Amino acid sequence: MTDLFSPYQLGSLTLANRFVMAPLTRNRAGAGEAPTELAAEYYAQRAGAGLIISEGTQPSAVGQGYPHTPGLHTDEQVAGWTLVADAVHARGGRIVAQLMHAGRISHEAITGLRPVAPSAVTPAGEVYTEQGMKAFEAPRALEAAELPGVIAEYVDAARRAVQSGLDGVELHAANGYLLQQFLADGSNTRTDGYGGSPRNRARFVVEVATAVAGAIGADKVGIRISPGGSFNDITETETEQTYDALLEGLNPLGLLYLHILEGPDTDFHELLRKQWGGPLILNTGFTGPSDLVTAQEVVDTGAADLFCIGRGFLANPDLVERLRSGAALNEPDMDTFYTGGAKGYTDYPLLSA
């Protein structure tokens, strides 16, 4: 039986244990969509995780999907993330920034800009804005000549993450945001070299990963995928072929890790585990089991090297110690997930309190 609480070497990063804090949207960015001292406290409280993956962080203004989410495209935001990185490192933790371009999962009421996407396919549903819920609007299809500029935005954000002192970045190619919009045939109806076949739909994601790895080092770049997922009105009809093409493009890069988000309704991680040449993180999603027993089984069976937990870390800053000792867990207060302020953010009780 693998000791989940012993150190694990993830590339050049020595992690204190095999538990990963999942990226969790909290909508608490300050002026200029920059992290604040409160965010630094929040992440530092959770530095007992082997690795923290930050909340989704937009690499450009048009990439913002929700109000008060942080960015990594201005000097002010770099200063905010420096606060976070310093606070986490002071407590011995490791943290990477999740770079999340929302693509069509946005609204002009949030950014002042029309959302962009691989194709002009409007997603079903609504998005929260400061003016209340609004139906998604038709995105503008990115022209092929624009794609190098979008890649450059990812590269710039990754460089800013390293400048902030963060340990790297995770490219968010899951949950129906821009990179998965390119992968999925339901949102990508392009007829150029970036659509029409699994390999072409994977091309943009591979190009982003290649450029970011070239800029900051592959050992500082992870990627998250959710094959077969339907969140944010994503539909994939060639899932196996698409992710086979994606991993064929990513494997030679030597990235830090592959992070698979897979709930109980899909079952691709075993196939992907055989195809992926590097470390793998498994996340069972919002509806899947996310406890110590599951984590132990996942690592012992070789399904993954690390196990990712979301709400457990949200409500329990000292989650790893609670799991180690078998202590009771705090219940998450869902009413405060996205409300702003310290309540439900930095005020969950510790065992030592």
Residues catalogued as catalytic: 177
Helix/strand/coil (H, E, C) string of 192-208?
Answer: CCCCCCHHHHHHHHHHH
With contact defined as beta carbons under 8 Å apart, do 186 and 239 qualify? no
Phi, psi of 309, rounded to the nearest 5 degrees: -125, 135
- Closest of 11, 224, 214, 6 to residue 97, by C-alpha: 224
What residues contact 265, with CB distance under 8 A and at least 6 apart? 228
DSSP class of residue 316 equals -
Alpha carbons 47 and 16: distance in angstroms, whole number: 10
Indicate the residue type of 20.
V
For 219-276, give the secondary structure using H, E and C. HHEEEEECCCCCCCCCCCCCHHHHHHHHHHHHHHHCCCEEEEECCCCCCCHHHHHHHC
Do β-strands 132-135 and 126-129 pair in parallel, antiparallel, or remain unpaired?
Answer: antiparallel
